[in-house]
Amino acid sequence: MDLVNSILNLVVPPTSMVMMALAWPTLSFLHAVEWIFHSLYRENMENKVVVITGASSAIGEQLVYEYARKKANLVLVARREHRLRGIRENARLLGAKQVLVIAADVVKEEDCRRFINDTVSYFGQLNHLVNSASLGHTFFFEEATDTSVFPHMMDINFWGNVYPTYVALPYLRQSHGRILVNTSVESWLPMPRMSLYAAAKAALINFYETLRFEMKDAVGITIATHGWIGGETGRGKFMIEEGAEMQWKEEREVPLTGGQVGEFARKMVSGACRGEAYVRHPSWYDIFLLYRVLIPDVLGWTFRLIFSTRETRMPSLMGTGPPPLDAPPPRKLLSGPQPMPE
Ligand SMILES: NC(=O)c1ccc[n+]([C@@H]2O[C@H](COP(=O)([O-])OP(=O)(O)OC[C@H]3O[C@@H](n4cnc5c(N)ncnc54)[C@H](OP(=O)(O)O)[C@@H]3O)[C@@H](O)[C@H]2O)c1
């Protein structure tokens, strides 16, 4: 067996390179045809039904506004109901038909069943499920002082997508619907201080790629990956100080870089409506795929350089915690179609 593997080690890589070079023109042609088809085809979302988890802030909120502009019926899901209510008003102003607000925890299967079943009971159908609930963190793994937070990372970032998907699938199959899932560039480009988050996001990608095979064309899946664009992720719903106990730190209602978040939400919704399998933003991140495959050492050296100084190892922020129930609702839309940045 060792001999066979040694021969294959020598033969397979160069043969594959030659085959890929030969297949390149055909693949480019197929991609061009696919691109033209996707540019011409757009799902009309008017009167369709969209459930959006993580709708109470940042990207999730902007996704609500994008679907609202397309005149869809919306179901907004998150734990902070008071924020969802403000976002519902904005969504109506932007053109949404009917908007339901459902406070729920996506980590609890029974909550997921409730908001999906309520949606179908009320509207009679479900067309898009948008999974945007998440929990970010930035801490060096060995500096974590409370391991009880570890399962939360997987719960929200992984199971918080799997449960809503599981309960929604039969209805999405009926409507030939679509799942739009919000992952991150860390799913394939893991960064220091994001170990658990990156692991959960990588698991999420493999889960949805497998589901894509299993569902064939019955239910579409759009996977969105993007770099840091702002929002509450990583802004520290609690903080771990070096050598100190974990403390709650409410920094959730901070100003956002609204433009970028809005632009990414626009790309996500338009990609989903065009039936695209992937939405990536910004696209220059793609070059790191080549680095990772061909010269991974360079990435390693870069990260080591950036994260070796004392400043970059100081307090690290970590995301989520109990919802701050006294947080203010989002600002109202005063005029025009643009939601006010927070
Ligand atoms: N922002 C970025 O720069 C960035 C970069 C790469 C990837 N991403 C990804 O993009 C997605 C959205 O990011 P974001 O910046 O908009 O995040 P965010 O501002 O932290 O929002 C997270 C949302 O998830 C909800 N949520 C958290 N835990 C929940 C739970 N257990 N049940 C129900 N809802 C829950 C929160 O609402 P409640 O607290 O009210 O429940 C909130 O609406 C995430 O998947 C994130 O990983 C973001």
The total number of structural domains in the chain stands at 1
162 alpha carbon – ligand 1 mean position (Å): 15
Strands 220-226 and 128-131: unpaired
Residue 206 forms part of a structural domain: yes
133 alpha carbon – ligand 1 mean position (Å): 4
Strands 278-281 and 220-226: parallel
- Integer Cα distance of 246 and 238 in angstroms: 7
Residue 10 forms part of a structural domain: no
Residue 11 is predicted with a pLDDT of: 93
Task: CATH number of the domain at 154, please.
Answer: 3.40.50.720
21 alpha carbon – ligand 1 mean position (Å): 41
Is the N-terminal amide bond of 282 cis, ω within 30° of 0?
A: yes
Residue 1 is predicted with a pLDDT of: 74
Q: Which residues contact 273 (CB under 8 A, 6 or more apart)?
A: 42, 43, 45, 70
**C-alpha separations of 269 from 29, 52, 257 in Å:** 26, 12, 19
Query: Ligand 1 — pocket residues by CB below 6 A?
Result: 53-54, 56-60, 78-80, 105-107, 132-136, 156, 160, 182, 184, 226, 228-233, 320, 323
**C-alpha separations of 218 from 68, 170, 178 in Å:** 25, 10, 9
| Ligand 1, atom 5, residue with closest C-alpha | 228
pTM of the complete model:
0.84
Residue 28 forms part of a structural domain: no
Cα four-point dihedral sign 303, 248, 79, 161: positive
Residues with a catalytic annotation lie at 197
Residue 292 is predicted with a pLDDT of: 85
Taking only the tens place, the pLDDT of each residue in 225-259 is 987 765 544 444 433 333 333 333 334 444 444 56
| Ligand 1, atom 46, residue with closest C-alpha | 134
Q: Which of 101, 102, 134, 185 to mutate to test the pocket of ligand 1 (most atoms within 8 A of CB)?
A: 134
331 alpha carbon – ligand 1 mean position (Å): 19
User: Atom of ligand 1 at shortest distance to CA of 323?
Assistant: 39
142 alpha carbon – ligand 1 mean position (Å): 24
164 φ/ψ angles, rounded to the nearest 5 degrees: -60, -35
Strands 178-182 and 238-240: unpaired
Residue 113 forms part of a structural domain: yes
Q: State the residue range of the domain holding 190.
A: 44-141+149-233+256-288
User: Atom of ligand 1 at shortest distance to CA of 186?
Assistant: 6
- Integer Cα distance of 158 and 146 in angstroms: 20
User: Atom of ligand 1 at shortest distance to CA of 80?
Assistant: 40
Residue 331 is predicted with a pLDDT of: 60
Residue 4 forms part of a structural domain: no
Residue 55 forms part of a structural domain: yes
Q: Which of 233, 251, 267, 269 to mutate to test the pocket of ligand 1 (most atoms within 8 A of CB)?
A: 233
**How many of the other CB atoms lie within 10 Å of CB of 278?**
11
Residue 293 forms part of a structural domain: no
Residue 202 forms part of a structural domain: yes
Residue 338 is predicted with a pLDDT of: 45
- Collect the ranges in the chain with pLDDT lower than 70: 229-259, 308-342
| Ligand 1, atom 29, residue with closest C-alpha | 133
| Ligand 1, atom 17, residue with closest C-alpha | 233
Sheet holding 316-318, edge to edge: 246-248, 238-240, 316-318
**How many of the other CB atoms lie within 10 Å of CB of 135?**
25
Strands 316-318 and 238-240: antiparallel
Taking only the tens place, the pLDDT of each residue in 109-160 is 999 999 999 999 999 999 999 999 988 877 888 888 888 888 988 999 999 9
Q: Which residue has the tokens 């990772």?
A: 292
231 alpha carbon – ligand 1 mean position (Å): 8
